[in-house]
Structures are given as structure tokens and as C-alpha cells.
Structure 1
Amino acid sequence: MRASAVQAALWLLAVLACLAGLDYLARWQLARQLRAEAVASLGALARGDTPLRWQLRNSGDLVGGRVFGDCAYEFTPAGLRLRAGSQVCELGLRLRGALDLSRFGRLQIDSDRPLPAFFLLLRERLDQPQRHAEVPAAASIALDALAWRQDDGSLATPPHRAAMLRLRLAALEQDLLLGEVVLRPSGALLPLPPGAADWQPLQAAAALAPPRLPLFAAQDGLKPEQLLAARDRLREREPFALVVYRHDTEAVAAAVSETAEHTASAATAGADPALDTAATHASIPAWLALAATAILLAGLYRRPPRNPRAAALLQSLAAVALPLYLVAGLRVSDDFDTWTLAALGLALLYAAAPTPRQPRLAHAWRGTPRAWLLAALGPVLALLLVLLAIPAGARPGLHWAGLPLYVLWAALQQWLICRVFAERLRGSGLAPRWIALAAALVFALLHAPNATLMLATFAGGLLWSAIWLRERGLWPIALSHALAAGLLVQGLPPQLLRSAEVSLRFFL
């Protein structure tokens, strides 16, 4: 067998290995996330606490990151201070999903002085009318004991769930410091810790009335998109539904028991079991680590290794290291804190810095006619996949109003993967097919843990990086990327592609 045939066979084996590895990574990350969510929620209940808690020391737990209305306020280490003289202060609590008020129906608000009367506003579902109730001056309130009304003033039944929850305080005569808002269980919830038999099948049709907890176990071989689609359907009737893979039920029970025992020991020793100071100090080592990373990147830029191949390899990897850490490491949630923005800024700064050995590319943007022709394969293949996935005779509802903006976002991604990573990797001496494979793998990992999206971007990355290495041109591959992504995200059913979100945002 000729050497070229052996190289081609090895490359194909590597492609298959990458596909299998990406699929395994998506399943592992999902199982880990579901297990962590279950342990956190059940562990809080097992130690007599609650998983539904909003700390008001910063803007992260409020909708829009601020207090609405004619309100003077400030965030302090002790909580949210509402200033005297404020006419209307409305706090929208940030919800990561609907709240189960049938199990968690006692609202508790910690404040530095007796809480004045205020209003609660909620919607059971975002598309349903708003309800409101006047809350007497009390720090702990049973929600089902309030007189709930519709917006027109007519009486309403007590809510069983909440997709929106707001607190409205008016005409404050004194400063008021709000420490935290908590939803506690209405009564005892069982079983804690759960045994393997307490987890219902994922397909269970009957709702579980309190004090039973809505615990569900999925088949071990179920694909991530199928499991999350089933979980979304479950949470329509059971907002607090916790779902794990069947093989993880015993591990969750053991972890919950260990959490409860550890808490009991801490309480016996005189410590506050509900106090967790890890988050308070986590930013210090994180900022030190980011500063050290900046020093390393500056040193690599100013004094790269003398060996050109080693320098090219290190410089290409350094350009994508921080984005990979943030996305594949599940560090990006539904908001961007200062540290994350600083890390992204540092990554872009290093990627944009020209390297001495990187040549100027005259056609690095517009590309050649053949580049445009080859790039058309991306949306064509995406359209074929959509047509195969949807039912016969159905037409996907496609909307392209946001295409121009998404082309710019696609261009930024392709600039990082092709113009920066793949182009710098050329100097390592790798053959173009291996550079394209490495670029496609990095591109796919930047879409973790979204299983279908990782596989799709791996395939697209192979095409687009190969076009770049042969023909140059960012605009052809950026437009191809945007069109293919629009077709897949809008055309594929949810059980195949749940969303275009990545990192922790994918699980929300």
C-alpha cells in the first residue's frame, strides 16, 4: 500500500475517532450536569435548606441586572439597599425555569428592619395574564394564603407555578436593606435521600403530588437532545422535575447523604451549614490565574521558541486556549461577568496580534471564485439534512431577518479558526489535511456540550478550513457558515437539535 493511501486511511480513522469522542463528551457533560443539579437541589433539601434562593448582593439575580421604577438603590456586600424616598422599587427575580409553588410555596425575605407591605406579581406561564397579591408586613409568607387577583381586580386562584416573579415596594420612608429572597418548601418533602426505586421512568405520565418529589431516571442510552426534550416536556407539568440517567441514581443518593452528614457535622461543630464562602473568594485566584495567563501569552508573543515548528504549534494553541476553557469547560452561563469578559478580551487581543512569521494575505477576505463555489456545499448539505429530518410534505419555517448580523458573528468565528489557528498551524509542518482536522475539532469543541451542533460544526469545520487552506477568503466561508447554521437551527426538530446555545447556556 502506498504511503499516501496509508495517510488517507489514518486521517479517516482520526475523523471517526473525533466524531466518537465528541459524542462521548456531550453525553458525559450532560450526565455530569444533570447529576450536579440533582445533588445540589436534593442536598439543600436534605440539610433543611432550599435550592431556590436569590442573593441580592449584586445584579446577577435580578432581571435586567437592576431595580425597575423610580427607585434609588445600591448593591452592597450585605445585600440590596433601597433608599428612602423611592416611589416604586420593582425587583424581577431571575428564574432559570418555572418555579414549583405547589412544593415551594413559602416566601421568605431577609431584611435589616421589619418589611413593609408590598405586592407580588407573577405569571404562571409567560404567555398567560399577570396575577398580583398584596403581601402584609411579614418576613415569611405562605403564597397560597394570599388573596390573588387578576389585573382587572377579579379574584384568582392561588398559583401553582411561576414563570415570572416580581416584588414591588412603594413609597419607602426609610432605607431598606434586602439580604436575600428565598422560596422554602410548604411542608416536608420525601424521600430524602432518594433510593433507586424513587426515580420514576422518564415516560411516566402521572403527576406526583407533594410530599413526593418529581424524580425521573432516563435510559442510559438516550441521546442528549432526546433527554433534554423529554425533560422540557416534564417541566411543563412538574417545574421542579429532576432528571438523571438511570446509572446515576445511586451516585446521587450517596452524594445527597454525604452532603447531609457533612452539614450535620458542621452544625455540631458550631459552623453555619448554610454558609458557603467559596464563591466569595473564588474571584481572587481566578483573577490571579488570568493575570498569569496574560504574562504567559505576552512572553510567548515576545519570545517564541526558536524552533519555528514548536513556535507555530504553541502560538496556534494559545490563540484558542481561553475560548476553549470558557466554552468547553462550561464557564459561560446566561450572563457574562467581568472575569469572563476580560478573558475573552485577552484571547481576542492575543489572536489579533500579528506573528512575525505570518505572511500578509491579499485575498484573506473576498476569496476566489472557486472558494465561493466550494463554500456553497455547506448550506446545500444542511438543506438536504433538514429535508431528510422533517416529516414528508412539511416545510421548515425559515426567517432570515437576522442573517446580516449573524454573518458578522460567523466571520469572527471563522477568522479565529481559519485565519488565526489554521494559518498559524501551517508553520508546524503538518499536512493540510491534518491542519483542517485540528481546526474542525477546535471549532466543534467551541460548541460543547451541544451534541448535534458539535457534530455539525465538526463537519462544517472540515469543509471551511479546507477551503481556507486551499483558496483563502473569509467572506465565502462566513456566509456559508451563516446560511448552514440558519437552516439547521430553524429546520431541524428539537429532538435532533435543541438550540444553538453552547456551554452552560445549553442546559438552561
Structure 2
Amino acid sequence: MSIAQSTGFRLSLRAADPSATGRLRSRAILDIVLAYGLILATIWSPRPFQQWIYLLAAAWIVVSTARSFPGWNALGFRTGGFWRSSWVIAAAILFAALATAAATRLHTLRQPVSGRSWIMTFGGYVVWSFAQQFLLQSYFLHRFRQLIPSQTKAALAAAGIFAAAHLPNPILVPVTLIWGLCACFVFLRHRNLYPLAVTHAILGICVAVTVPGPLIHNMRVGLGYVRYHHRTAPPLAPPTAPASLFTRLQHFWS
């Protein structure tokens, strides 16, 4: 089933024009290469260079999205398909409950010491989860579908770069690959971003509080993972809600 059949949206109104199709593909390639390159550069750069690269990456994503804006519905900002795809939220809640119970029995469950700490730590991560799903589905998957006729191959490509952004974390890479594939297939079928963002937040917080910090390096990726030192790490993973906006991209997609 094609995207048009499953969601009612066409990939491009100019698809019948070969020259327009060529320009669309060239623009998609440029967007993917520059956006992903800047994201990786941010993840692997030390401060203070990281802050400037982050701002450049954010600016490029905003500009390139506005330049080739396909409409809010095509990007997943719609009400249709919400309830049909909300099963992923229920599945995430069930998984989180089981993982929390297991972590409690194994004495590995970690949590902030106060309610305010919960809000400060995980409130920001909820917003960051939405941003990550926008990048995965509405930005990268949308462009891969312009380049790759096969939905399955496009989903594999998007999930692959999503997981690769979590290198060299040996736990987050396979976890994000599995979730990335699932999210892409659900999005291709129902074209709604909201349930995926909620699910991402649930799963991310679950991993943060159930997996020991030294084992997962407190959810760090890239240079942050390499430079992680357990003796100086706080008791709960700070990457889930970084203190400032730009540092969120240091732990991008974590």
C-alpha cells in the first residue's frame, strides 16, 4: 500500500514533471546530507564549538523545512490517524511497567529525589522527544520517501541514520534502531506524529530510570559517551533534560 493509499496524501504534486521531480530529489539529498552532517558534527564536537554548530544545524532544519513545506498534514501534524496509531502508547506503557517492576526487584531503579526534580528532568525530555520524532519522521523519512520508491527501504534508511546518531552507545543503538523502524512504519500507515512522540517520551524515560547509569553512560552518545566518567556523573541521566537548549543536541536522539 502506498502512502497516498494509506493516508490520502500525495508525495508531490509535481511528480509527473521529470524536471520538477529531479529538482525535488536533488533538494531532498541536499537537505539530508547537510542536516545529518551538522547533527553528527554537533554530537562529536567539544564545547564551545558545539554550541555554534548546534545553532547552525537548527537554523538549517528550520529553513529547509520552510523552503519545501508540504503542509502540516503531510508532516504528521493532524488529528486523523491518532486513535488508530495510539496502540503504540499502550504498548510503551506496558513495557515501561514491566521494566520498572524488573528494575525494582533488581534494585537498579533510579529516580529524582523530589517531584520538582521529576519535572525538571523529564519535562524537558518530553518536548525533546517530540523534536526527535519530528526529525525522524517529518524531516528525514519524508525526504527518503522522495528518493526511494520502496516504503520499507525508506524506513530502513531513516531508522538506520537514527540509530547511527546514537553511536557508540551499545545499548541505545539497537534500541533506537528497533524503535525507529516501528515508528517509521506506523507513521507511513497513519501519518500522525503525536502518538509517536508520546511513546518516545515513555520509552526514553523508562530506559533512563531502569538501566544503571554506568552501563548506559547516563544516556550519552557521541563525544559525551566517550568522555563519560562514572565518578563525576550525577545520580540520574542529565541528557534526558539538558540544562540548556543547545546541549540537547549533544545527546541528540538519546
Settle same-fold status: TM greater than 0.5.
yes
How far off its partner does 1:387 sit?
5.2
What is the SS of the residue equivalent to 2:218? coil
The structure with the largest strand share of the pair is 1
How far off its partner does 1:429 sit?
4.5
Q: Given the alignment, which residue of 81, 89, 94 partners 1:380?
A: 94
What is the alpha-carbon distance in structure 2 between the residues aligned to residue 319 and residue 443 of structure 1? 15
Q: What is the aligned partner in structure 1 of residue 196 from structure 2?
A: 477
What is the SS of the residue equivalent to 1:441? helix
- The 3 A distance-change label for structure 1 pair 382 and 332 is farther
Q: What is the aligned partner in structure 2 of residue 260 from structure 1?
A: none
- For each residue in 1:63-100, what CA deviation from the matched residue of structure 2 results, as whole angstroms up to 9, or x when unmatched? xxxxxxxxxxxxxxxxxxxxxxxxxxxxxxxxxxxxxx
What is the alpha-carbon distance in structure 1 between the residues aligned to residue 25 and residue 94 of structure 2? 34
Q: Percent identity?
A: 24
Q: What is the aligned partner in structure 2 of residue 352 from structure 1?
A: 65
What is the alpha-carbon distance in structure 2 between the residues aligned to residue 313 and residue 440 of structure 1? 20
Q: What is the aligned partner in structure 2 of residue 275 from structure 1?
A: none
What is the alpha-carbon distance in structure 1 between the residues aligned to residue 57 and residue 138 of structure 2? 18
Contact 1:410–1:481 at 8 Å: present in 2 too? yes
Pairs within 5 Å for 1:337-416 = 337=50, 339-355=52-68, 358-361=70-73, 364-366=77-79, 367-381=81-95, 383-384=97-98, 390=103, 392=105, 394=107, 396-399=109-112, 400-401=118-119, 402-416=121-135
Pairs within 5 Å for 1:142-181 = none
- The 3 A distance-change label for structure 1 pair 427 and 345 is closer
How far off its partner does 1:426 sit?
2.3
Query: What CA RMSD, in Å, does the superposition of the two structures yield over aligned residues?
Result: 3.1
Contact 2:125–2:201 at 8 Å: present in 1 too? yes
1:437 equivalenced with 2:149 (yes/no): no
Q: What is the aligned partner in structure 2 of residue 319 from structure 1?
A: 31
- State the one-letter code of the partner of 2:184: S
Q: TM-score, normalised by structure 1?
A: 0.35
- For each residue in 1:291-345, what CA deviation from the matched residue of structure 2 results, as whole angstroms up to 9, or x when unmatched? xxxxxxxxxxxxxx8262x555544443343453345455333545564144213
What is the alpha-carbon distance in structure 2 between the residues aligned to residue 442 and residue 489 of structure 1? 22
Q: What is the aligned partner in structure 2 of residue 468 from structure 1?
A: 187
- Unpaired segments ≥5 residues, structure 1: 1-304
- The 3 A distance-change label for structure 1 pair 487 and 472 is same
Q: TM-score, normalised by structure 2?
A: 0.65
Contact 2:99–2:206 at 8 Å: present in 1 too? no
How far off its partner does 1:462 sit?
1.0
Bigger relative contact order, structure 1 or 2, given CA contacts below 8 A and separation 6+? 2
1:498 equivalenced with 2:217 (yes/no): yes
Aligned length: 201
The structure with the largest helix share of the pair is 2
- State the one-letter code of the partner of 2:45: V
- Unpaired segments ≥5 residues, structure 2: 1-17, 113-117, 228-254
- For each residue in 1:129-156, what CA deviation from the matched residue of structure 2 results, as whole angstroms up to 9, or x when unmatched? xxxxxxxxxxxxxxxxxxxxxxxxxxxx
Higher Cα Rg: structure 1 or 2? 1
